[in-house]
C-alpha cells in the first residue's frame, strides 16, 4: 500500500538585517520507497517568492524527518528549502511540530532561515489526509498547485 498525506507548515524567516519574511508551504507527500516520499505542493515566502509550485522529497526516519523543496523565486532564481524535524521523546510535541528551515540559492548560499511550525489546529485534517477515502485535501491541493502553475505559465508566457 502506498502511503500519502497532506501537511502544512508555517513560520517566519530572516534574511540578513531585513524584516522577517512569512513562509508557508503545503505539500502532498506520496511514498516512493521505504521512508522516502515524493512531495508536490505550494510554497510562499513573500517577497522572496509569491505563492508558487514546489516539488521535492521528504525522508521519514525515526531520528529525523527531512524536507527538501525546490521552487522558483519571484525574480526567477532557483531556490531550495531544507528543514528537518528531530523527533525526541523528551519533547515530543515540540520536536514533531517545529523545525529550523533554510532557503538556499542555486550556489548553496543561504538566502534566509528561521523556524517553521505545524499548527496543532491542523492535526485533524492532517490525520484524515493519511486516509484518502476520508477527504479530498490532496485533490484540492493538487488542483491549487496546477492552477498556480497555469497562472505562472500565462504570466511568463505573456512577458
Partner 1 sequence: MRGREDRDPNALRYSGKPGHVESYFLRANDPDRPRALWLKATVFAPIDGPAEMESWLIYFDGSRARPIAGRESVPLVGPVTEAVPGATRVHAARLHFELAGRGSAAGTVRTSTGDAHVDVTWSRSQSPVGAPLSMLPRRLAHGGSFPRSKLLSPLPSLLFSGTLDVNGEHVELRGWRGMQGHNWGREHAFEYAWGQCVFAPEGSEPEAMVEGLSARVRIGGRTTPLISCLAVRRGPRTFRFDRLVDLWRQHASVEADRWSLRMSGNDGEARLEMDATGRPIACLGYRNPDGHKSYCFNTKLATVRLQVQPARGSAFECRSEHGGALELLRRTPDPRFPDVV
35 vs 140 by CB, closer to partner 1: 140
C-alpha cell at 13: 524567516
* Helix intervals (H) in 4-136: 92-97, 123-129
Q: How far apart are CA 3 and CA 32, in angstroms?
A: 9
Candidate segments 19-27, 30-38, 64-72, 102-110, binder of partner 1 by CB under 8 A: 19-27
Please pick, from the candidates 27, 29, 44, 65, the single residue that binds partner 1 as defined by CB under 8 A. Answer: 44
39: contact with partner 1 by CB under 8 A: no
Q: What are the contacts of 37-42 at 24+ separation with CB within 8 A?
A: 37/3, 37/4, 39/67, 39/69, 40/142, 40/145, 41/69, 41/141, 41/145, 42/141, 42/144, 42/145, 42/148
Residues from 77 through 116 that contact partner 1 (CB under 8 A): none
Helix (H) or strand (E) holding 140: helix 137-158
75: contact with partner 1 by CB under 8 A: no
24: contact with partner 1 by CB under 8 A: yes
Candidate segments 27-35, 42-50, 79-87, 91-99, binder of partner 1 by CB under 8 A: 42-50
Q: Is the dihedral of CA 136, 67, 119, 86 positive or negative?
A: positive
36 vs 146 by CB, closer to partner 1: 146
24 vs 31 by CB, closer to partner 1: 24
Q: How far apart are CA 150 and CA 159, in angstroms?
A: 14
12: contact with partner 1 by CB under 8 A: yes
7: contact with partner 1 by CB under 8 A: no
Query: In the complex, which residues of this chain contact partner 1 (CB under 8 A)?
Result: 10, 12, 19-24, 26, 42-47, 50-51, 119, 121, 151, 155
Amino acid at each position: 500500500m502506498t502511503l500519502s498525506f497532506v501537511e502544512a507548515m508555517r513560520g517566519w524567516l530572516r534574511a540578513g538585517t531585513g524584516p522577517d519574511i512569512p513562509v508557508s508551504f503545503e505539500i502532498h507527500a506520496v511514498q516512493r520507497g521505504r521512508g522516502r516520499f515524493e512531495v508536490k505542493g505550494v510554497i510562499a515566502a513573500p517577497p522572496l517568492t509569491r505563492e508558487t509550485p514546489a516539488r521535492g522529497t521528504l525522508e521519514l526516519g525515526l531520528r529525523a524527518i527531512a524536507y527538501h523543496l525546490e521552487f522558483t523565486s519571484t525574480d526567477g532564481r532557483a531556490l531550495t528549502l531544507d528543514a528537518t524535524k528531530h523527533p525526541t521523546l523528551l519533547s515530543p510535541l515540540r520536536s514533531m511540530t517545529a523545525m529550523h528551515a533554510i532557503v538556499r540559492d542555486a550556489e548553496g548560499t543561504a538566502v534566509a532561515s528561521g523556524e517553521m511550525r505545524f499548527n496543532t489546529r491542523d492535526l485533524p485534517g492532517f490525520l484524515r489526509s493519511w486516509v484518502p477515502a476520508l477527504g479530498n485535501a490532496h485533490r484540492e491541493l493538487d488542483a491549487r498547485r496546477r492552477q498556480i502553475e497555469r497562472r505562472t505559465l500565462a504570466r511568463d508566457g505573456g512577458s
